[in-house]
Copies of this chain bind each other. A is one copy, B any other.
Amino acid sequence: MSVSTRRLRHIEEMKETILDAAGTLFYKNGYEETTLRKIATLIDYNPATIYNYYKNKEDIFFALQERAFQSFYEEFDFYRTTKMKGKKSLRKMGKAYIRYGIDHKEDYELMFIMREPMNRAKAIDPKWKIGAKNYELLKLVLAQCIEEKSVRITDVNVGAFMIWSAVHGMVSLYIMDRMKMINDTKHDKLLELAFQQFDELLNRI
């Protein structure tokens, strides 16, 4: 192994070590509580060392976001090859989306809610492509539904955004604790029924 490739590998390993530690702390204590000093302590390095591998804190969370998108992508890759009918596929996708958001709420927050690691993202953003890829998948499944005439939608683009909005709305109100505003306390059940209701709404009689 040449020295320069070993060096590159070392850098990759370090970046990953740092990212793992950052993730551990983030999933346990949230963004604000995850300080560079705590990350450094966890991996037995000096805080300054981290700056040899990441430009700054935001950059770390940018990488964490990327990782989240990756895992998110893998979750839905299944629907790319399924032989299910479009409508059934769409329903399952929606359910899976909500489940994923609830079970990985920090990741979900990172990907679809937080302002934090977004500032840099205004520039060229290779990673939104993963998000875009999943969005294309939704459009694909929806297009199949339209073709099947199993759905009350005519425009794929408009329909896809509407569907995304609906499920994103449910997930985000849930995980950001805004369902408090609703008197009914059985939030999980309400969420499930609301999705069912929405799904039925899509049905063509």
Interface mask (A171-203 → B, CB under 8 Å = 1, otherwise 0): 011001111111110000011011111101110
| A47, CB-defined interface residue at 8 Å | no
| A115, CB-defined interface residue at 8 Å | yes
| A51, CB-defined interface residue at 8 Å | no
Q: A169-B164, A194-B165 are in contact. Are A152 and B201 (CB under 8 A)?
A: yes
Interface mask (A110-131 → B, CB under 8 Å = 1, otherwise 0): 0011010010010001001001
| A42, CB-defined interface residue at 8 Å | no
How many A residues, CB 8 Å from partner? 49
Q: A116 vs B200: C-alpha distance in the bound complex, in angstroms?
A: 36
Write out the residue numbers on chain B whose beta carbons fall within 8 Å of the beta carbon of A125.
180
Q: A157 vs B118: C-alpha distance in the bound complex, in angstroms?
A: 35
Asked if residues A197 and B113 are in contact (CB atoms below 8 Å), the reply is no
| A161, CB-defined interface residue at 8 Å | yes
Pick the contact of A193 from B158, B182, B183 — CB < 8 Å? B158
Write out the residue numbers on chain B whose beta carbons fall within 8 Å of the beta carbon of A159.
197
Pick the contact of A132 from B132, B182, B193 — CB < 8 Å? B182
Considering only residues 122-166 of chain A, those with a C-beta below 8 Å from chain B are 125, 128, 131-132, 135, 152-153, 155, 157-159, 161-162, 164-166
Q: A112 vs B118: C-alpha distance in the bound complex, in angstroms?
A: 19
Asked if residues A170 and B165 are in contact (CB atoms below 8 Å), the reply is yes
Write out the residue numbers on chain B whose beta carbons fall within 8 Å of the beta carbon of A197.
153, 155, 158-159, 162
Q: A158-B194, A169-B164, A194-B162 are in contact. Are A178 and B112 (CB under 8 A)?
A: yes
| A168, CB-defined interface residue at 8 Å | yes
Q: Which of A's residues lie within 8 Å of B, judged by CB?
A: 30, 109, 112-113, 115, 118, 121, 125, 128, 131-132, 135, 152-153, 155, 157-159, 161-162, 164-170, 172-173, 176-184, 190-191, 193-198, 200-202
Pairs across A and B, CB under 8 Å, 9 listed: A30-B115, A113-B176, A115-B176, A128-B180, A155-B193, A159-B197, A161-B182, A165-B198, A166-B166
